[in-house]
């Protein structure tokens, strides 16, 4: 008689992290100590900013900006920032949800365009309680919040504002850049977007450039490097043997070895994984202190998350959460000014234990005002005898002198089950008049058609159970009013029409 009681124990036999052929980031003696206490001698030679421009709400010539001094310096490994801030309005320092901001908290945003092309970049934001969030930016203002980075920030609230007298806050930031791909050797783009409250309770954003757009790399301050960033060969290998007792599912007791390989150099990055620990597959990065030593637990799904901007398409064909029970896989990406490309192979098991494998490759050409991309996906399920091939082409055009944008994608699938072939197609046409946080009109419109027979097992539509053979059309628009006043400072007036027809 089989045991009906489940005994599940996870025994960590060994946890080792090996670093081979890699050089640790070594900062020069001129590097500031990130402790939230700005020392003049540490910031000698830094670029100093004292002039700022209010961009939300749009300045009317009478706006008063809080006294702020920003220092920026860099070495071959990192960029350093210091903020000497004297706020007149209230200070709210909290972060309710990771990688999402409330509309109330004070946050400062650092935007970096490492390519210096005003196309792609990164945004780093922090509050004055040292809460951090970050995101990758692509197509100027689209963001991938699944991207995570290890960086340091420390703020010291010296004095709160009260009785008409300003407060005083000092913040220091260090952002390592050694493992970022495709770094410009001479000049990068930087923007600092600072959120502050006025004494009457209204808020405003100000920046180091007059034409700043919120969380966009369209307009950036051109920062000349004093020394080129160093590209290193980084290879990190981690091995985690673990044992699993599995009486309930009749698999018997097993011992598996899991681990990860990460290698990067200049524009190239290769990641491999073997038997990732599923209990922490979706774990977020976390920082804590143990016996006064800083400990950083890395995110457990960087295999996909740091490259979703490359694999993302208007019709979401490669929804990575469709791949859950990974046995092994690799993911190679290449990033240059012109070409962003990725290739991945994964072997996993479906919910019934059937062996599946997926191969996906995507090139994406980035020109000044338009992008052209393609994607090929092959998948096979040995247990159900199902296999599919998917070919996709997409493009995106950005008008240089106005916020009007257009995009399109065409996809065709060839799939079969037990040698019974089926073919189908889908396409998406869309456009939008880009929303402006400083106020103005906005609109978006699109048409999506999925023909009978179209199937993509890794698509988002497949994961939510959406059938084929349907049309979808949407139109929306409105106006965003922004006023420099205490009450009703933001007003949105909008309407939306959505129509869907047909389903198999």
For 429, phi then psi, to 5°, come to -120, 130
pLDDT of residue 493: 93
**Please, which pLDDT band fits residue 125 given cuts at 50, 70 and 90?**
very high
Tell me whether residue 160 is in a domain: yes
Domain count, the chain: 2
CA distances from residue 86 to 39, 198, 323 in whole angstroms, order as listed: 17, 12, 49
| 232 falls within a domain | no
The average pLDDT across 347-366 equals 92
* 74, 225 Cβ separation under 8 angstroms: yes
Would 12 be classed as within a structural domain?
A: no
What pLDDT, in 10s, does the model give residues 71-124? 999 999 999 999 999 999 888 765 444 444 455 678 899 999 999 999 999 999
Tell me, what CATH number does 427's domain have? Answer: 2.40.160.100
In a domain, 381, yes or no: yes
Same structural domain, 324 and 207: no
User: What is the distance between the alpha carbons of residues 424 and 449, in angstroms, rounded to a whole number?
Assistant: 11
Do residues 220 and 311 share a domain? no
Distance CA 78, CA 176 (A): 4
Confidence at residue 19, expressed as pLDDT on a 0 to 100 scale: 37
Can you tell me the mean pLDDT for 385-413?
94
**Residue range of the domain that includes 137:** 24-224
Q: What is the mean pLDDT of the chain?
A: 82
Higher pLDDT, 495 or 465: 495
Predicted pLDDT of residue 23: 38
For residue range 161-181, what is the model confidence (pLDDT) as tens digits?
Answer: 988 899 999 999 999 998 888
Checking if the pLDDT of 280 tops 70, the result is no
Same domain, 325 and 427: yes
* Tokens (6 digits) for 400: 């240089």
At 211 the pLDDT is 92
Q: List the single range of 109-123, 267-281, 296-310, 346-360 with lowest mean pLDDT.
A: 296-310
Q: Could you say which of 224, 246, 263 is where a domain stops?
A: 224
**C-beta separation of 137 from 146 below 8 A:** no
Mean pLDDT of 472-479: 94
Q: Is the peptide bond before 57 cis (omega within 30 degrees of 0)?
A: yes
| pLDDT tens, position by position, 191-248 | 999 999 988 888 899 999 999 999 999 999 999 999 999 877 777 766 555 444 444 4
204 part of a folded domain: yes
Quick check: 174 and 149 in contact, CB under 8 A? no
With a cut of 50, say whether residue 384 has pLDDT above it.
yes
153 DSSP β-pair partners? 173
**Residue 413 in this model has a pLDDT that exceeds 90:** yes
Q: Are residues 219 and 341 in the same domain?
A: no
Residue 235 included in any domain: no
List Cα–Cα distances, 94 to 202, 259, 409, in angstroms. 18, 36, 40
* Segment 27-32 mean pLDDT: 63
> What's the confidence (pLDDT) of residue 239?
59
pTM greater than 0.85: no
Query: Does residue 36 share a domain with residue 156?
Result: yes
β-pairing, 470-482 vs 490-501, is antiparallel
| 322 and 420 co-located in one domain | yes
For residue 437, pLDDT beyond 70: yes
352 and 218 housed in the same domain: no
Contacts 24+ apart (CB under 8 A), 371-375: 371/139, 371/395, 371/396, 373/313, 375/311, 375/313, 375/317, 375/318
Question: What is the domain-level CATH number for residue 117?
Answer: 2.60.40.1190
In a domain, 184, yes or no: yes
Same domain, 81 and 209: yes
Considering the domain architecture, whether residues 220 and 331 belong to the same structural domain is answered as no
**Cα three-residue angle 496-497-498, rounded to 5 degrees:** 120
CA dihedral 7, 8, 13, 16 (to 10 degrees): 180
Residue 477 to residue 447: CA distance in whole angstroms = 15
57-61, 108-112, 365-369: which has the minimum mean pLDDT? 57-61
Cβ atoms of 424 and 452 closer than 8 Å? yes
**Residues 314 and 220 occupy one common structural domain:** no
Of 167, 198, 224, the last residue of a domain is 224
pLDDT at 130 over 90: no
Looking at per-residue pLDDT, the higher value among 237 and 44 belongs to: 44
What is the distance between the alpha carbons of residues 140 and 435, in angstroms, rounded to a whole number? 13
Residue that terminates a domain, selected from 201, 224, 247 = 224
* DSSP codes of every residue in 104-161: SS--EEEEEETTSSSS-EEEEEE-TT--EEEEEEETTTEEETT-----EEEEEEEE--
- Is residue 276 a part of any domain in this protein? no
The arithmetic mean of pLDDT across residues 36-64, rounded, is 88
Structure tokens at 490: 């933001």
pLDDT-derived band at 26 (thresholds 50, 70, 90) equals very low
Strand, helix or coil at 323?
coil
Per-residue tokens: 118:
């005003």
Q: Are 272 and 330 in contact (CB under 8 A)?
A: yes
Query: CA 324, CA 231: separation in Å to the nearest integer?
Result: 33
Q: Report the C-alpha gap between 310 and 322 in whole angstroms.
A: 17
Is it the case that residue 141 has pLDDT exceeding 90?
A: no
Mean pLDDT, rounded, for 294-312: 67
Let me know if 24 is exposed, middle or buried by CB neighbors in 10 A (0-12, 13-18, 19+).
exposed
> Of the ranges 301-310, 414-423, 484-493, which one carries the lowest mean pLDDT score?
301-310
């Amino acid at each position: 008689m089989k045991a009906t009681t489940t005994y599940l124990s996870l025994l960590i036999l060994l946890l080792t992290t090996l670093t081979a052929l890699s050089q640790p980031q070594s900062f020069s003696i001129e590097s500031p100590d990130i402790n939230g206490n700005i020392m003049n001698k540490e910031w000698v030679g830094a670029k100093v900013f004292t002039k700022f421009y209010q961009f939300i709400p749009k300045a009317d010539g009478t706006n008063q900006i809080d006294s702020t001094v920003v220092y920026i310096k860099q070495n071959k490994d990192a960029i350093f920032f210091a903020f000497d801030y004297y706020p007149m309005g209230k200070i709210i320092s909290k972060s309710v949800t990771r990688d999402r901001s409330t509309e109330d908290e004070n946050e400062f945003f650092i935007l970096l365009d490492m390519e210096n092309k005003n196309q792609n970049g990164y945004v780093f934001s922090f509050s004055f309680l040292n809460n951090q969030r970050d995101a990758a930016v692509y197509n100027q203002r689209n963001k991938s919040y699944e991207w995570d980075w290890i960086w340091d920030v420390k703020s010291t609230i010296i004095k709160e504002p009260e009785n008409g007298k300003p407060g005083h806050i000092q913040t220091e930031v260090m952002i390592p850049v050694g493992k970022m791909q495709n770094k410009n050797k001479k000049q990068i783009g930087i923007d600092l977007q600072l959120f502050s409250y006025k004494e009457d309770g209204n808020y405003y954003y100000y920046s180091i450039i007059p034409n700043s757009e919120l969380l966009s790399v369209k307009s950036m301050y051109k920062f000349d490097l004093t020394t080129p960033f160093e590209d290193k060969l980084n290879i990190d290998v981690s091995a985690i043997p673990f044992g699993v007792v599995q009486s309930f599912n009749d698999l018997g007791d097993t011992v598996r070895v899991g681990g990860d390989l990460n290698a990067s150099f200049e524009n190239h990055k290769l990641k491999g994984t073997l038997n990732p620990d599923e209990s922490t597959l979706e774990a977020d990065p976390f920082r804590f202190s143990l016996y006064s030593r800083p400990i950083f637990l890395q995110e457990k799904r960087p295999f996909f998350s740091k490259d979703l901007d490359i694999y993302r398409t208007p019709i979401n064909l490669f929804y990575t959460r469709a791949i859950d029970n990974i046995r092994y896989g690799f993911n190679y990406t290449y990033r240059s000014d012109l070409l962003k490309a990725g290739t991945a192979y994964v072997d996993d098991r479906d919910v019934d234990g059937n062996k599946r494998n997926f191969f996906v490759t995507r090139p994406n050409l980035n020109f000044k005002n338009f992008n052209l991309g393609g994607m090929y996906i092959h998948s096979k399920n040995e247990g159900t005898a199902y296999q599919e091939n998917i070919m996709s082409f997409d493009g995106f055009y950005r008008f240089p002198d106005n916020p009007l944008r257009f995009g399109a994608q065409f996809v065709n699938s060839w799939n079969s089950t037990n040698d019974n072939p089926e073919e189908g197609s889908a396409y998406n046409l869309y456009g939008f008049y880009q929303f402006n946080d400083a106020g103005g009109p906005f609109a978006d419109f699109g048409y999506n058609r999925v023909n009978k027979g179209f199937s993509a097992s890794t698509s988002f539509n497949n994961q939510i159970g959406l059938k084929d053979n349907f049309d979808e059309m949407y139109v929306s628009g409105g106006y965003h009013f922004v006023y420099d006043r205490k009450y009703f400072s933001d007003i949105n007036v909008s309407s939306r029409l959505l129509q869907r027809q047909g389903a198999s």
